[in-house]
Structure 1
């Protein structure tokens, strides 16, 4: 799935793809129809969730998007597809308010039974609604987080989902879509603005890694099937492993110091978009254009 495909995919998110390869290299999302569907768009996920599972993503969002939320006159964040329990929405509110005290969170779930189960957890700044990728809010949210939602979809459906969700964002808004393991030790996500994908972030508890390419199993759907020779994400993970091996002497100072040294070396050849303050958290963020798939499958 490349950024080039996004402007060529329209209509419903299920089962639609471009009929021919795209001719242009634009990374722009075209606006989708504003018509509200009569029923939620999407399918029910497994709903697996655990407390603190999304802590790495939440902290990154608060750091990267907190200033925009503070500036917003309506700082609404959507936890899309929060699952069988409302923990991730509850935690998102608490973490966003460390950066934007007036932030509000709306949990959106396509399974009405899950919405009913979450209602007792509503409080000031936190509500739950029945819905799907149409994001049934009266206004446009400043943030949409979709974690562990798209893994069950086909790769060719991702661009239409991104397009639809980005079309719901307020000006200056952010969509964060990605995947993590069951306890949140390993996580990879894509950050998108209304214009399309911007960056890919790899985040981990560094001590859990044998090598950085262990994160490959958590690549989001747009990239996970592209971890093959000839694709940029495969080359990136190969170089990441090589830099990790070269930084082995720093392991005596701890896994975190080895990670920092590894990312510093990686930045010589790849467009790393963040600073050592984030590397110390076990993160590295890379420009989307460097990792985007070369062509549609």
Structure 2
């Protein structure tokens, strides 16, 4: 193989490609709510669905949800498996295209958004930081003079039908927050979300690590909020999260809590060492 051919080889490895329609709805809605203003202000609001899988449903849905808040948004679906790209091409439309590639993100623009859901799940924990750095390096830069925070990388894991999801949001400077999102009607306790922690955190859910302490405190707050269950799981969740704010840097408010979400500053949950 020539050096030129090697340089064109996508960065990354082929994953299982498991996907389902509407699987990423919780992540998409959070992105639209928290990053929509950046997409609206951008001259060329390009988003990347990185590793969309064996079928292009998530890219199609991402375009639809982003355009509810940023009508000029465009989505590029990027897959490392050529056969998946070929299968997705019939779904192209104005504002949606598919490209063969990996973590190098083979587009000329610096995207305002990179969504990588269930991609790093099959990688080793030690590989995550380098992937994050590479992807953050491709994001649109921040502009302090105008208040633009730059592009956003959203990387996380969910179950097969999207009821439970945990993701990390990163800017050009690195990790910012961790969001826990769930269908409240199916939740027994907040620590049920531990099995969907992203690769950077899932092996750190052990005593002595911040994420373990957070989930322990969340379970305690959930138990203490049991009297609110008579008003519904949503009211119980809101009360539990409100109690968490006494000890943890919760970064959002009741509008998002009502959706079955809570977002915490990354530095509070980051792995020790």
TM bracket, shorter-chain basis: over 0.9
2:214 alignment partner in structure 1? 236
Q: Structure 1 residue runs of 4+, over 2 Å off?
A: none
Partner SS state of residue 135, structure 1: coil
1:41 aligns with 2:18: no
CA–CA distance in structure 1, aligned partners of residues 271 and 181 of structure 2: 21
1:276 aligns with 2:254: yes
Retained in 2: the 8 A contact 1:37–1:134?
Answer: no
1:119 aligns with 2:89: yes
For 1:158-202, what per-residue CA distance to the aligned partner results, in whole angstroms no more than 9, with x for missing partners? 000000000000120000000000000000000000000000000
2:57 alignment partner in structure 1? 87
Retained in 2: the 8 A contact 1:200–1:286?
Answer: yes
Correspondent of 2:196 among 218, 221, 227: 218
Q: Report how far residue 207 of structure 1 moved.
A: 1.1
CA–CA distance in structure 2, aligned partners of residues 215 and 224 of structure 1: 10
CA–CA distance in structure 1, aligned partners of residues 222 and 259 of structure 2: 16
**How many pairs were matched up?**
260
Retained in 2: the 8 A contact 1:49–1:85?
Answer: yes
Partner SS state of residue 20, structure 2: coil
Q: Which has more helix, going by share of residues?
A: 2
CA–CA distance in structure 2, aligned partners of residues 252 and 203 of structure 1: 21
CA–CA distance in structure 1, aligned partners of residues 121 and 240 of structure 2: 29
Retained in 2: the 8 A contact 1:189–1:219?
Answer: yes
Correspondent of 1:136 among 87, 106, 120: 106
1:190 aligns with 2:190: no
Retained in 2: the 8 A contact 1:198–1:288?
Answer: yes
Partner SS state of residue 278, structure 1: helix
CA–CA distance in structure 1, aligned partners of residues 33 and 151 of structure 2: 14
CA–CA distance in structure 2, aligned partners of residues 72 and 185 of structure 1: 32
Between 1 and 2, higher relative CO (CA 8 Å, sep ≥ 6) is seen in 1
CA–CA distance in structure 2, aligned partners of residues 267 and 205 of structure 1: 21
Q: Report how far residue 37 of structure 1 moved.
A: 3.3
Q: Report how far residue 95 of structure 1 moved.
A: 0.2
Partner SS state of residue 116, structure 1: helix
2:234 alignment partner in structure 1? 256
Give RMSD over aligned pairs: 0.7
1:288 aligns with 2:269: no
CA–CA distance in structure 1, aligned partners of residues 127 and 14 of structure 2: 16
Q: Report how far residue 42 of structure 1 moved.
A: 0.4
CA–CA distance in structure 2, aligned partners of residues 102 and 37 of structure 1: 32
